[in-house]
Amino acid sequence: MPERNWGSDSDGLQRAKDDPQAPYELVAVGIGRQILDGMLVAGDVVPPVRELAKQHGVSPGTVNRAMTLLMKWGLVSESGRGHRAKVLQPTGTDSTASRSAAGDTGINACSGSATGEEKVLLDLRLLCLGTVVRTFKAQAVLGDPDQIQGFLEGAARRHHGGDGALADYELEVRHADTAELIGTFAAL
């Protein structure tokens, strides 16, 4: 039987980013978007496989395949006995380096809003009762307060470990380039 030409492994990795088709590719792209949008930041422990499986409506095996893909993309560290995978700093995100505009379905998408508004890089400071407890960067559409509220709620949950004291948190938002204060958001 003649050998089938599947192309190089890197071709498959890029295709999965640009045009995810298999369930594990869709899960990997979803988690990758959370990382690239700042919902999960460098150093965060990736949620447990069972939790991710429940969130995405897939089996734990599918999530494990997605995690392998995320490791190959350089977005998460390897996990193993005694330690869980952690989010890595995506390459090219420590500045305003633009990502490839591969369309709204791909992980490389730069403009993710339905209105086509462009995302900007923001410096975010999470405060708990007036004290800074975390700083991180994220890309967001400035005219989308729901996205900023999502950053606030996600970062507060990760800091606190639940929803209990969400009202104690605020998110200070600044332009990454100019450090100009855009606003402070409080949990509702």
pLDDT band at 156 (very low <50, low <70, confident <90, very high): confident
Closest among 15, 11, 177 to 96, alpha carbons compared: 177
> Is 11 among the domain residues?
yes
Residue 115 has pLDDT above 70, yes or no: no
12 and 96 belong to one structural domain:
yes
> Is 115 among the domain residues?
no
| Domain span including residue 148 | 120-186
Q: Looking at residue 64, what is its pLDDT?
A: 92
pLDDT band at 6 (very low <50, low <70, confident <90, very high): very low
- What whole-number percentage of the chain has pLDDT above 90? 12
29 and 102 belong to one structural domain:
yes
> Is 169 among the domain residues?
yes
pLDDT band at 113 (very low <50, low <70, confident <90, very high): very low
Q: Tokens 């990760």 sit at which residue?
A: 158
Rounded mean pLDDT of the chain?
75
Flag whether the pTM goes above 0.75: no
> Is 32 among the domain residues?
yes
Least confident range from 60-64, 77-81, 146-150, 158-162: namely 158-162
Compute the distance between CA of residue 180 and CA of residue 49 in angstroms, rounded to an integer. Answer: 39
84 and 161 belong to one structural domain:
no
Closest among 132, 129, 122, 130 to 39, alpha carbons compared: 122
> Is 28 among the domain residues?
yes
> Is 60 among the domain residues?
yes
Q: Which CATH number do you get for residue 105? A: 1.10.10.10
12 and 102 belong to one structural domain:
yes
In whole angstroms, how far apart are CA 15 and each of 10, 106, 131?
Answer: 8, 9, 43
155 and 97 belong to one structural domain:
no
37 and 102 belong to one structural domain:
yes
Residue 28 has pLDDT above 80, yes or no: yes
Compute the distance between CA of residue 7 and CA of residue 93 in angstroms, rounded to an integer. Answer: 29
Q: pLDDT tens digits for 35-92?
A: 887 788 888 888 888 988 888 889 999 999 999 999 998 999 987 777 788 888 876 5
98 and 137 belong to one structural domain:
no
- 96 CB contacts (<8 Å, ≥6 apart)? 121, 176, 177
8 and 98 belong to one structural domain:
yes
3 and 65 belong to one structural domain:
yes
> Is 99 among the domain residues?
yes
In whole angstroms, how far apart are CA 100 and each of 63, 106, 135, 143, 170?
Answer: 25, 9, 26, 22, 32
* Structural domain ending residue among the three candidates 110, 129, 150: 110
127 and 41 belong to one structural domain:
no
Q: Looking at residue 37, what is its pLDDT?
A: 77
Please tell me what DSSP assigns to residue 2. Answer: P
- pLDDT, mean of residues 167-174: 89
> Is 96 among the domain residues?
yes
21 and 66 belong to one structural domain:
yes
96 and 142 belong to one structural domain:
no
* Number of domains the chain contains: 2
